[in-house]
Structure 1
Amino acid sequence: MSPDRATISAYLTILSGSAGRLVISLVYFLIVANTLTLGEFGLFATASSTGLILSRLLAFGFVSPVYRVATVKPRLLGAYLAGFFGLAVLSVPLILLVAALAYRLLFEDRLALLPFALIIVSEVFGWRVVELVSIVNNGLRRFRQAAILVILGSSLRTLAAIAFYFFGHASLATWAWAYLGTTMLSAVIALAFFLPRLRLRFVRALYPRRMADAVFAGAAEIVFYVQAELDKLLMLALAGERIAGLYAIAMRVIDLTAMPVRSFNQMLVQKIMQERGLGGGARRRALVEAAIAAISVGGLVAVILLLLPFPGMLGRNVSEAAYLFLPMLLVPAFRNLVEYHAELLYARERTGSRIALLCAVTALKAGLLSWVMTRFGSGDDWAPWLNLVFGAVYLLSASVTYRLLGRR
């Protein structure tokens, strides 16, 4: 990354959106996590994770070509967006089929069908559309608009959480309706006011050439989010709703530490796409990884220090989960670095290699986490072992990623 003024300004603009979203998302998270019971929050978190994975099936992954075109050939953006919307409609039956299968395997005996369906629709057709518009704006280097959209979407979700808290009927079924209304309103606002004015035109000849890239990129996204969210689903399956709720709270706090890292990843991906390469040798790469690790762990340490004198400051349910933070201290670093590696491979268009690596990472994480929870899941001894689980996943990811990037 070149430390020129334009790059720094763009990064700070993106970071301001992430910082605003961080504060607003923290308020939202605290309200929902402490208003629902631990079991209900565990179910909401795992259903939301399922919806996040399913949202990557929308338009068969055609978001990737849209982003590349917005970054390098913006004059074609109208044609590519028309293709995205057409493919989105065609992908709905596949999304419904996979959602039904996920419900049957994981949620049928735990969560009613209606709230599950509402959460899935919220993620797939609400937040994914907001993400699309934000991605387009970032690709066009309209970072301010993207930042405002991110903050606005998070603010609406937080307002819904506040209304949910004061409404008094704090059930997961009620929250699912509020969540749906917020996400769909955010999507409408994004399309109406933040999508650049374009003439949508369907150019059939463009799409067959890009479908392979879309499908591979979409598959990579699905595998990435499967490996990122699999632990929550396994916790629900192996340990039940309450432990899944505690774990979901801990991982949500950890996920908040990733926001400044994701801003950096976004700038780096654009730089590599535009310059067709990754500058710097092994020393620079090591420094970047060390900085990501330090920021990630530092964020969790700040939360731990905050809770020492004020253990109840973040609410009853978060306080119950707080005992997991210190034993899982290294998890944020390993988790964010694996995400960083995936972004490097995406930027270099090593899509097939990215999919293969993420499949290996997913299998390793699933195997190790299942072993830990089967052996130590009856008590609280499982938490420190997660450092080793995520550490092993990181070592596999780093060794394969840098070997691939070193090839010419």
Structure 2
Amino acid sequence: MGSMSPDRSTILTYLTILSGSAGRLVISLVYFLIVANTLTLGEFGLFATASASGLILSRLLAFGFVSPVYRVATVKPRLLGAYLAGFAGLACLSVPVIMLAAAGVYAALFADRLALLPFALIIGAEIVGWRLVEVVAIVNNGLRRFREAALLVIIGSSLRTLAAILFYLYGHASLTVWAWAYLAVTLATALLALAFFLPKLRWRLAHRLYPRRMADALYASAADIVFYVQAELDKLLVLALAGERTAGLYAIAMRVIDLTAMPVRSFNQMLVQKIMQERGLGGGLGQRALIEFGIALISVAGLAAIILLLKPFPGALGRNVSEAAYLFLPMLLVPAFRNLVEYHAELLYARERTGSRIMLLCAVTALKAALVSWVMTRFSAGDAWALWLNAVFGLVYILSAAVTYRLLATAPRTAPSIARPAGR
């Protein structure tokens, strides 16, 4: 690939994407603070882990066919109507599989902790609501309609925040009530996205197009599932090993950390499209190291800014967040390691190393699961587990970096094929 030095057009495009992330950052922070402080710590822990489960299960929708949709939107937009029709058909076929998987997750993790109704509502919101909104945003990004994608993200986050405000004002702050509100707002956002943000196209089923893309779609779906299992498994393990309250504290800390990833994800999206178009990754070792340093610096600075805000105003982010605030400083390096692992995954996706990417994510998931389980088993009674998480995510980063750059050094320079779209 040519130099990564940005030109004026690239900078403007990045700023457009970042504007959506920045708007979402502010609005999502308000949403998060209301929900985190209105529910009890235990209820918020259950909501966060059920939502994480739904996020993982939503990757089964249409068996990963959103990947061909994204690629076609990027390189052959004239076929987009046919691919959207295929996505819709496969989405319907995937629903029974998703329901069966959700039943297994509920039986394994939530049966003794959370009633079936709120669990089903939260899972439905993630799969039917937010995943469809993501698909519409992905299509717009593939078509380089970045303003429309950014606006959709901001509107969706705003509606979710409005639902949280109404939930707070309602006064009956139970998890079941919030689950109903969460489902309602996600469905409303999905309908809005389909009605006003999906490009007007003539949908037509073209059965001959789909079979040859299904292998890549299934690979992409598997990679997506493993990626989000890697990203969300720690929340589920904390719930299983340390209980609802610790899961709530951990979920709050990780949600604050996740907010630091938004500018990094905007950069990842631009980088992936550049690599796809130029069929390679160049710039030399020094430039790659500089990119990693920049990602790490932005990630740590974001969390540090929140810590500095809370020093003179410990209650600025609400009661429950203030209870979790003592975790932020011990976990200061976690955002850097976490965001860099996500960056590595996007590099492998852009270079069409789907099979290798799945194997790496499986190894990362296994390592993280083992380390988090060890930390939570030994230190869950005290506060030391927060400091140990730096070592956990640091070791995961070392594995990811070592394997990723070895794979990229041997990656063939082939034309882009159909694969997974950029992450959430």
Q: 2:145 aligns with which of 124, 142, 145?
A: 142
The gaps in structure 2 that reach 5 residues or longer are 413-424
One-letter amino acid matched to 1:349: E
Give 1:208 deviation, angstroms: 0.6
Q: 1:305 aligns with which of 300, 308, 313?
A: 308
Q: 2:322 aligns with which of 316, 319, 323?
A: 319
Q: 1:389 aligns with which of 368, 376, 392?
A: 392
The residue aligned with 1:351 is 354
Is 1:246 the counterpart of 2:249? The answer is: yes
Structure 1 Cα separation of the partners of residues 286 and 82 of structure 2: 42
Is 1:224 the counterpart of 2:227? The answer is: yes
Is 1:197 the counterpart of 2:200? The answer is: yes
The gaps in structure 1 that reach 5 residues or longer are none
Summarize the alignment of residues 78-227 of structure 1 with structure 2, pairs less than 5 Å apart: 78-227=81-230
Q: Deviations over 1:32-70 (max 9, x none)?
A: 000000000000000000000000000000111111111
Structure 2 Cα separation of the partners of residues 77 and 397 of structure 1: 34
Q: Deviations over 1:132-157 (max 9, x none)?
A: 00000001000000000000000000
| Aligned Cα root-mean-square deviation (Å) | 0.5
Structure 1 Cα separation of the partners of residues 270 and 97 of structure 2: 33
Is 1:334 the counterpart of 2:349? The answer is: no
Structure 2 Cα separation of the partners of residues 385 and 301 of structure 1: 18
Aligned length: 408
Under a length normalisation based on structure 2, what TM-score does the superposition of the two structures give? Answer: 0.96
Structure 1 Cα separation of the partners of residues 337 and 262 of structure 2: 15
Is 1:290 the counterpart of 2:293? The answer is: yes
Q: 2:70 aligns with which of 67, 83, 87?
A: 67
Give 1:212 deviation, angstroms: 0.6
The residue aligned with 2:421 is none
Summarize the alignment of residues 253-268 of structure 1 with structure 2, pairs less than 5 Å apart: 253-268=256-271
Give 1:2 deviation, angstroms: 4.0
Structure 2 Cα separation of the partners of residues 60 and 347 of structure 1: 20
Is 1:54 the counterpart of 2:57? The answer is: yes
Structure 2 Cα separation of the partners of residues 118 and 375 of structure 1: 34
Structure 2 Cα separation of the partners of residues 315 and 391 of structure 1: 30
Structure 1 Cα separation of the partners of residues 336 and 295 of structure 2: 7
Three-state SS of the structure 2 residue aligned to 1:399 is: helix
Structure 2 Cα separation of the partners of residues 209 and 187 of structure 1: 29
Structure 2 Cα separation of the partners of residues 273 and 125 of structure 1: 29
One-letter amino acid matched to 2:88: F
Give 1:279 deviation, angstroms: 2.1
Under a length normalisation based on structure 1, what TM-score does the superposition of the two structures give? Answer: 0.99
The residue aligned with 2:23 is 20
Is 1:11 the counterpart of 2:14? The answer is: yes
Structure 1 runs (4+) deviating above 2 angstroms are none
Give 1:377 deviation, angstroms: 1.2
Structure 2 Cα separation of the partners of residues 111 and 330 of structure 1: 33
Give 1:351 deviation, angstroms: 0.3
Three-state SS of the structure 1 residue aligned to 2:210 is: helix
Structure 2 Cα separation of the partners of residues 80 and 353 of structure 1: 26
Three-state SS of the structure 1 residue aligned to 2:207 is: coil
Q: Aligned residues: percent identity?
A: 82
One-letter amino acid matched to 1:231: D
Give 1:263 deviation, angstroms: 0.2
The residue aligned with 1:406 is 409
Structure 1 Cα separation of the partners of residues 330 and 26 of structure 2: 25
